[in-house]
Amino acid sequence: MNQFKKDILRVALWLTPQRYFGAMLILIAAFTPQLAMAAWYDPLVTAMKDAKTGFIIILGGISILSILYSGACLLIARVLGTMDTNIFDYGKQALIIGIVGGAVTLATWSYSWWGGSISI
């Protein structure tokens, strides 16, 4: 507890009025409409859209690979005669991927239905 009090005191001494008002002015300038619609913002939006597309591709590939892995484990278990992996494990994996994908799709649809716009 004593160290926590020292940390609070250190932050209180570090946060001077000049630093506080400087940070506040930077935030105000960053969120003004003239700067928010500036041309420097467009490359960031393009990069975020590309990152979103890459993220979807990577996660889709991982989900397909997990289904393939579960199916390969099922086939190997059937060939060897062991019952380590059964059809329910494969179905559970496919159901989890379907539920997660469906939840994301439903959330996106409901957000746009209630007036939101998905820009990225």
Chain segment 64-90, per-residue pLDDT in tens: 999 999 999 999 998 998 888 888 988
- The reported pLDDT for the residue numbered 5 is 78
Give the span between the Cα atoms of 105 and 120, in whole angstroms: 15
Write out pLDDT tens, residues 8-28. Answer: 777 777 777 888 888 888 888
Question: Sorting pLDDT into bands at 50, 70 and 90, what band is 119?
Answer: low
Question: Tell me, what's the pLDDT at 72?
Answer: 92
Tokens representing 36 are 């928010």
* 70 close to 89: Cβ distance less than 8 angstroms: yes
Contact (CB, 8 A) for 105 and 78: no
DSSP character at residue 79: H
